[in-house]
Amino acid sequence: MEIRYTITEEDYIQFNLYHIEESASLRKQFQMLRLYLPLLMAVVIFLVGTQVLKQPALYWVVVAVLYAVGWFVIYPRLYKKSIRKNVVKMAREGDNTSVFGDKTLEIAGDKITISGQDTTEIIDKTAIKEIKQKKDLLILYNSSVSAHIIPTRYLTDSELATLTAFLKK
């Protein structure tokens, strides 16, 4: 079986967003920033308003609660936007021709060969630790921090099913 595909910057961004959403440690960090930071800031806002500015407590309770709720609602979009911006910035640093561009995936026996413009990598099927499928991507994890991205737009449904079945055996 041979599959030809192209990895674009957008594929790379989507993979990173997906990986961040699925990573337990990064998910924990996200939840801390989404929940604990606004609660801490709400307390600070309340104390500054009532103790330093000597204004009514009810007013500062409302301000602090609005701040906390606003942050809780807006933060996921800010987080994704920040991740996207950083991934784009990192992707544009240096030469990334081995990551982006045209690729060919060939399966022969239990070996998977992924060839790009400058690189060829031969992977034993047993080296694939996990297979994740996102709407647009098939992700083959070698480890918790290393993966091969295959955009599913280049695969027919039967090719995707065959590839997934082969890798899961």
pLDDT score of 142 more than 80: yes
Residue 163: which domain range? 2-8+99-168
What is the arithmetic mean of pLDDT over 12-40? 90
Q: Are residues 111 and 144 in the same domain?
A: yes
Q: Distance between CA 152 and CA 150 in Å, rounded? A: 6
Q: Provide the CATH number for the domain around residue 153.
A: 2.30.29.30
Which of 47, 73, 91 is the last residue before a domain boundary?
Answer: 91
pLDDT score of 100 more than 80: yes
Q: Are residues 109 and 137 in the same domain?
A: yes
Q: Are residues 107 and 37 in the same domain?
A: no
Q: Are residues 114 and 154 in the same domain?
A: yes
> How many Cα atoms within 13 Å fall on the side-chain side of residue 168?
11
Which of 44, 64, 91 is the last residue before a domain boundary?
Answer: 91
Q: Are residues 27 and 63 in the same domain?
A: yes
Residue pointed to by tokens 């500054």: 48
Q: Would you tell me how many other CB atoms lie within 10 Å of the CB of residue 8?
A: 13
Neighbour-count burial for 28-65, b at 16+ CB within 10 Å, e otherwise: eebeeebeeebeeebeebbeebbeeeeeeeeebeeebe
Classify 78 as helix, strand or coil: helix
Which of 59, 91, 123 is the last residue before a domain boundary?
Answer: 91
Distance between start and end Cα atoms, the chain: 16
Classify 150 as helix, strand or coil: strand
pLDDT score of 161 more than 90: no
What is the arithmetic mean of pLDDT over 142-166? 87
Q: What distance lies between CA 5 and its chain's CA centroid?
A: 20
pLDDT score of 66 more than 80: yes
Q: Domain total for the chain?
A: 2
Quote the percentage of the chain above a pLDDT of 90. 42
pTM of the model: 0.76
Q: Are residues 119 and 154 in the same domain?
A: yes
Dihedral sign computed on CA atoms, order 21, 27, 33, 38: positive
Q: Are residues 78 and 16 in the same domain?
A: yes
| Under 8 Å between Cβ of 98 and 118 | yes
Classify 54 as helix, strand or coil: coil
Amino acid at 88: V
Tell me, what's the pLDDT at 167?
82
